[in-house]
Structure 1
């Protein structure tokens, strides 16, 4: 009888333990949130990038197979080349691409409309220069009074820098000779216009300024490290990802941040090898390459970094508000806290 009772008690104890284990809730993460489940990798990643040397880390990451290394050989990478940030930001907001490289100006403007993508890492700070045409008589920004200055596209980061530069020199943007007129032209068209003496100055990303100077048709009068904001140390190229891709494949976004960081490190340690890699990708994206000496000169005017200067982005956004590119938002109401999601970047820097 005692044996039967002991056996029955043992069975009941095992049953209780099993039921307790089955009903146990998932342990929360240390911050109190439920631990996220690992998502299945995407079979295809749609990546956007500009046809511009200032996007050098993205070029090297593609040429060195760094994205493929982190995402795996079974992931197909579809690369879409863009001419400007407005087109890129629209594509990201409308689910035409998943992530990629862009400038802060157009990205900020689009985010405040759609609020469905985030900046996840830096890539390059600075790299734009102010060039005056030969025989224009322009030797400093103050000489731009009554002149017409070209920028790549309306609302671009380059236009924001130009507006800040003009403000520093007490010059206004106008539509007549009482101030400075701004026109939008693609850098390649600006180069031709400079050759034909149709424009007097331009604020453009490298290597266009160096090319104009080397051809003898223009002269750099404000170098990259004097261009506002923050004397050239402002984000010019950033890595952005859509909210959808972040939600469904956050781990892959983290891997993209690692690939970008590896590319930045590679260029710094292997500049000579990088020039050819950059040229190869430039050929693939635009159909034509560039002289290595131009690429070298352009890279020397870039501050390649994964850091993101939030204050500089906010300052540029306020210029966009004043210019009318960002509507229905007052400068004192500007909130870009959700525009930047640097949590994954911080994890990568911490070696996680």
Structure 2
């Protein structure tokens, strides 16, 4: 073999190594290196989204108690917070985060917009804990005509729930704030203040705002959303991951799920400690913890489970279609519960299903 041929082969090998290294980087500075564990690739960092709401208690607890970081080991957890699902979804679709706790309707929208390529639901998190709180003089759906009602964001889970409920009760509301009932999407803290000042007549919100509107501002419950679902169970929050990240770093995703399950277990085994941890994280994020009575009321109105309650997701999709916020979409394949069920089986716990009914 000539020296020229040897040099050519060496250059080709160098180019191949460089190309492989660039591929491993994925173009993201915070995941510029990757390791392997048991043959499964792991990222150097994972960017996780969640909300400073009690409906995201497993995330709050997982961050505060270090359950995620402990499970992730050398992979750095980078936590990012959002007010509502559409904003978190936008961050996931743009590549600004890798995984997020999110409600069903934004997840459905992300699946629809990306034609089934952007995300996978990998675990359940929270059931119930949302509804419509109104001024004391409002007693029926008909009393809402001409009234102003807030939701966290247009197209988010509570926004769709309100619009669907209004339609079922013969009332209409358009996306511009017009119709029989004026729906005003705004962040939860703003809605709380607006209700206290009398600028709005009610709000369909998640915990802890559902309880705060009642206890702090004298609101009354017109609809507790769990009363609208079989057995009072419906998905409020689940955990999703970008498909790209899942394909590249399945080992990291499995470790994230381990941290998630640890948080869920902590809620069951030490509820008082779980409430304190969630409140500590809310204080760290907002500068102010929840009052003890608000915290207790919020937890009482929620259940926390790894079961994604898939049947309610398909119903939520139909609700979004019914109110004109979603075109018909095939949700087959939106779940990837394989890694979760492996962990549940290993722990001797029942596996969960992605069945529509």
**1:67-86 alignment runs, 5 A limit:** 67-72=68-73, 74-86=74-86
Closer/same/farther in 2, CA of residues 247 and 176 from structure 1, 3 Å limit: closer
Residue 41 of structure 1: aligned partner:
42
Distance 2:152 2:129 in 1: 14
Q: Deviations over 1:33-59 (max 9, x none)?
A: xxx982332111111111211100111
Give the unaligned 5+ runs of structure 1: 1-35
2:250 pairs with 1:255: no
Residue 66 of structure 1: aligned partner:
67
Give the unaligned 5+ runs of structure 2: 1-36, 348-357
Residue 155 of structure 1: aligned partner:
155
Closer/same/farther in 2, CA of residues 251 and 177 from structure 1, 3 Å limit: closer
Q: Specify the structure having the higher radius of gyration (Cα).
A: 1
**1:317-336 alignment runs, 5 A limit:** 317-326=317-326, 329-330=327-328, 334-336=329-331
Distance 2:177 2:63 in 1: 45
What is the deviation of 1:188?
0.8
Residue 305 of structure 2: aligned partner:
305
Match of 2:342 among 340, 347, 352: 347
Distance 2:216 2:303 in 1: 25
2:97 pairs with 1:97: yes
Two-structure CA RMSD over aligned residues (Å): 2.1
Contact kept in structure 2, 1:173 and 1:180, CA below 8 Å: yes
What is the deviation of 1:224?
4.2
**1:191-202 alignment runs, 5 A limit:** 191-202=192-203
Compare 278-287 and 117-126 and name the one that shifted more. Answer: 278-287
Contact kept in structure 1, 2:103 and 2:156, CA below 8 Å: yes
Q: Residue 288 of structure 1: SS of its match in structure 2?
A: coil
Q: Residue 59 of structure 2: SS of its match in structure 1?
A: helix
Q: Deviations over 1:197-233 (max 9, x none)?
A: 111111111111211221243112222422x454642
Q: Residue 350 of structure 1: SS of its match in structure 2?
A: helix
Return the TM-score normalized by structure 1.
Answer: 0.82
Aligned residues: 308
Residue 295 of structure 2: aligned partner:
295
Closer/same/farther in 2, CA of residues 242 and 280 from structure 1, 3 Å limit: same
Q: Residue 43 of structure 2: SS of its match in structure 1?
A: coil
Return the TM-score normalized by structure 2.
Answer: 0.80
Distance 1:103 1:214 in 2: 25
Distance 1:143 1:258 in 2: 47
Contact kept in structure 2, 1:276 and 1:292, CA below 8 Å: no
